[in-house]
């Protein structure tokens, strides 16, 4: 029965794969999609059956090896050495004493953070004024002019048909009322 199921699965895989190639060759995409889903299902089924077959074989080998089971796992766990806590103030016998390590560490962190914030604020306020003035001085050379580069439609219409600047007439085109010379 197992061999028959493997033969049927392999035949289904080969048939769906060949029909997939035929349908793709004929550009019949809907049929190719459906057969492709069937091909993937057969492939996943055969792979899962193969993996389960191998796992069953490994399980049989382990069960026939006759490995002795431990007599009492609870006794072995209780007999195992206990690891001491990593810090002295975490030991149960020292719980009645006042422990100041962690609060001092947290307080020191807060003080260092506050000092860093204050230094950052002082440095930022002292450097900002000079940096902004230098930047403004450098940007003055590349700043846009105060007036528009191209006159607006109202200025062109109010100026009439004769503009004095030939470059402006070329830039404005027929809206300037004259032709470029």
Pairwise pLDDT comparison (43 vs 151), residue with the higher score: 43
- Chain center to CA of 62: 43
Domain count, the chain: 1
Is 9 part of any domain?
Answer: yes
Contacts of 166 (CB under 8 A, 6+ apart): 180, 181
Residue 56, domain extent:
2-63
pLDDT at 181: 44
Is 58 part of any domain?
Answer: yes
Is 31 part of any domain?
Answer: yes
21 vs 36: CA distance, rounded Å: 9
* Whole-prediction pTM: 0.35
Distance separating the N- and C-terminal Cα atoms of the chain? 97
Q: Look at 46-50, 51-55, 95-99, 123-127 and tell me which has the smallest mean pLDDT.
A: 95-99
pLDDT at 179: 46
Mean pLDDT of the chain: 78
Is 161 part of any domain?
Answer: no
50 vs 168: CA distance, rounded Å: 82
Joined tokens for residue 137? 């001085």
Confidence class for position 180, pLDDT limits 50, 70, 90: very low
Pairwise pLDDT comparison (75 vs 40), residue with the higher score: 40
Q: Look at 15-19, 70-74, 95-99, 175-179 and tell me which has the smallest mean pLDDT.
A: 175-179
């Amino acid at each position: 029965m197992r061999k028959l199921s493997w033969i049927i699965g392999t035949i289904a895989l080969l048939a769906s794969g060949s029909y997939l190639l035929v349908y793709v060759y004929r550009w019949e995409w809907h049929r190719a999609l459906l057969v492709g889903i069937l091909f993937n299902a057969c492939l996943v089924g055969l792979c899962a059956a193969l993996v389960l077959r191998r796992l069953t074989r490994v399980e049989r080998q382990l069960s026939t090896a006759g490995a002795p089971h431990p007599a009492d796992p609870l006794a072995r766990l209780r007999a195992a050495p206990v690891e001491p806590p990593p810090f002295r103030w975490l030991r149960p016998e020292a719980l009645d004493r006042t422990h100041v390590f962690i609060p001092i560490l947290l307080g020191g962190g807060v003080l260092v953070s506050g000092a860093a914030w204050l230094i950052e604020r002082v440095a930022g306020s002292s450097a900002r004024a000079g940096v902004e003035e230098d930047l403004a001085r450098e940007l003055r050379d590349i700043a846009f002019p105060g007036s528009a580069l191209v006159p607006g439609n109202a200025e062109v219409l109010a100026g009439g048909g004769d503009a004095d600047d030939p470059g402006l007439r070329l830039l404005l085109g027929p809206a300037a009322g004259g032709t470029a010379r």
